[in-house]
Chains A and B, each alone.
Chain A
């Protein structure tokens, strides 16, 4: 027993360093490029040009300054709040999508409208939204809302249309009325698609958010990078860009984790 455990330990030890090495090796190119960048920015480029491409060390210092001053956090929070508020509004796509997927007559009327609005990129709404809402949160929310709303709507409709007909029939012959069929069966059965819609929507919304903040906000990560540009603080611009990327990645990661909890049956249930 102990011998077996010892063998297993040995085998683990034998494999572990190799795997770790492979891990480290995969960062080789990245490290080399960073080193090249560092060298180039500090010694090759003339100082006036180096301002436009600060070295990685300069970006790290910029990040440190923004974090210590609390500025980065303030802007990040402003952006996350906008994304969240817009997301709450965009949840209206779920009941609308269920209605469109369920009632053919309703779909017949709503679909042409949706099909006309859907291909207009959220960014194309920025000018008219500034005219309507001015600069500030309302305009931002509107643009982000559009980014989240349509992917969520389309995925919800697809989810409802994909519901196994026998589930609906089973619910009916077990005595469920129309309301119960919709809330207890159709909504649940469409949930995996709805969550996919949320995931895509939050991604599109995050992209739209940055654009909306660049042109129409006094706070947020989009504002931060544009504001830093006017001050020629390229290091802050890059810190802002990296933060936008990392925050987007984190949002996506959270949605995936939550969805695994929420729909454990998804994918596992084939029959």
Chain B
């Protein structure tokens, strides 16, 4: 059964100022994401992939079409669809612990239960001993871990990630990608990852949605059959990477 269903979704932004041309960010997109699937939305910057994520998160509404979660149209943001932001968006005045606990307080989870959930998720992302730190006292990779713990603690049905590893250096990025696989194996859920990195999409995903440049459309919906962990140098991985690159670069050429 499919959990997340994107149906004929278009999004047009009005110009910022009067007289500006409206911008068509997404045009007539349809795809389904299965339950507990790890799905990447892949494309160049400006292809509307973040807009797609914002529609699923409920931060924005589609101009046409609809986004359904288990058959129900999405109305506004909700803890059922928690987001990991590119800039982490941790609350800078809250300790690591309070950041992770925030959603649980909002959800009115009883204190004793809350404590157990917070401890479990801080351990899950490997931040034991840093509970009292403030975000600015942590490295980029550690902040990202806090963001992951915070988003998972409220037990969302869908986890949305907006280029979560883009701000990290290469070493931390591949470490966090492996961590993400480990965490996802511990806490299976539907994940939507927005990325411009072909390698990242291949390492992590069950499904890759390759998008065209503006107006964003689904160019190809790839279901991954290569077993994990995926070796970057395995022939089928190399072939797939070539294929996706040609999809994206072909796209780039037609732009020019």
Q: Mark A residues whose CB is within 8 Å of B.
A: 164, 166-167, 169-177, 180, 184-185, 188-189, 191, 263-265, 268-269, 271
B141 at the interface (CB under 8 A from A): no
| Closest chain A residue, CB of each to CB of B167 | A271
Output the least CB separation between A193 and chain B (Å).
13
With A169-B83, A170-B89 known, 18 other A-B pairs at CB within 8 A are A167-B91, A169-B89, A170-B90, A172-B59, A173-B59, A173-B82, A174-B82, A174-B106, A175-B154, A180-B106, A188-B91, A265-B92, A265-B136, A268-B136, A269-B135, A271-B87, A271-B88, A271-B140
A-B interface pairs (CB < 8 A), number: 75
Complex partner residue of B59 from A169, A188, A269, CB under 8 angstroms: A169
Among the stretches B73-81, B218-226, B243-251, the one at the interface with A is: B73-81
With the chains together, A268 CA to B143 CA distance in Å? 14
| In the bound complex, CA of A177 to CA of B106 (Å) | 8
Q: Residue B134 at the A interface, CB < 8 A?
A: yes
A162 to chain B, nearest CB (A): 13
> B150 contacts the other chain (Cβ, under 8 Å)?
yes
Q: Within 8 Å CB of A167, what residues of B?
A: 89, 91
Residue of B nearest to A173 (CB): B77
Q: Is B33 at the interface (CB under 8 A from chain A)?
A: no
User: Is B184 close to A, CB under 8 A?
Assistant: no
The answer to whether B87 and A164 touch across the interface, beta carbons within 8 angstroms, is: yes
Which of B57, B91, B151 has the most chain A CB atoms inside 10 A of its CB? B91
Question: Does B216 lie at the interface of the complex (its beta carbon under 8 Å from any beta carbon of A)?
Answer: no
Identify the interface centre among A169, A188, A263: most chain B CB within 10 Å of its CB: A169
Q: Residues of A contacting B134 with CB < 8 Å?
A: 264-265
Asked whether B136 lies within 8 Å of A269 as measured between CB atoms, the reply is yes
Interface residues on B, range: 20 to 34
- B residues apposed to A, CB below 8 Å: 57-59, 76-79, 81-83, 85, 87-93, 102-103, 106-107, 134-136, 140, 143, 150-151, 154, 167
12 A-B pairs within 8 Å (CB atoms) are namely A169-B77, A171-B106, A173-B79, A174-B103, A174-B150, A175-B79, A175-B106, A265-B136, A268-B136, A269-B136, A271-B88, A271-B140
A188 and B93 contacting across the interface, CB-CB below 8 Å? yes
Are A172 and B136 within 8 A (Cβ)? no
Contact between B102 and A174, CB atoms less than 8 A apart: yes
> How many angstroms between the C-alpha atoms of A189 and B81 in the bound complex?
24
A265 to B106, CA, bound (A): 23
- Using Cβ atoms and an 8 Å threshold, which residues of chain A touch B135? 265, 269
**Chain B residue with Cβ nearest A191:** B93
Bound state CA distance, A164 and B92, in angstroms?
Answer: 11
How many Å lie between the Cα of A268 and that of B138 in the bound state?
11
Collect the chain B residues with CB atoms within 8 Å of residue A175's CB.
78-79, 103, 106-107, 154
CA distance A42 to B145 in the complex (A): 73
**Nearest A residue to B147, CB-CB:** A170
Closest approach, in angstroms, between the C-beta of B153 and any C-beta of chain A?
9
Q: Nearest 9 CB-CB pairs, A to B? A: A174-B103, A175-B106, A175-B79, A166-B89, A265-B92, A269-B92, A170-B89, A172-B77, A268-B136
| Most chain B CB neighbours (cut-off 10 Å) among A166, A180, A189 | A166
Chain A residue at minimum C-beta to C-beta distance from B135? A269
How far in angstroms is the closest Cβ of chain A from B210?
26
User: Residues of A contacting B167 with CB < 8 Å?
Assistant: 271
- CB-CB under 8 A from A177, the residues of chain B are 106
Q: Contact between B102 and A166 (Cβ–Cβ < 8 Å)?
A: no
CB distance from A179 to the nearest CB of B (A): 11
B211 to chain A, nearest CB (A): 22
* Most chain B CB within a 10 A radius of its CB, from A175, A188, A263, A268: A175
Instruction: Tell me, rounded to whole Å, the shortest Cβ–Cβ distance linking B77 to chain A.
Output: 4
Bound form: Cα–Cα A24–B176 in Å: 56
Q: State the CA gap A177–B103 with chains docked (Å).
A: 11
**Please, how many angstroms separate the alpha-carbon atoms of A166 and B103 in the complex?**
15
Chain B residues with CB under 8 Å of A164's CB are 87, 89
Complex Cα spacing A173 to B107, Å: 11
Complex Cα distance, B76 from A79, in Å, reads: 52
Contact, CB under 8 Å: A173 / B81? yes
Q: Report if A170-B106 is in contact (Cβ < 8 Å); known contacts: A265-B92, A269-B92.
A: no
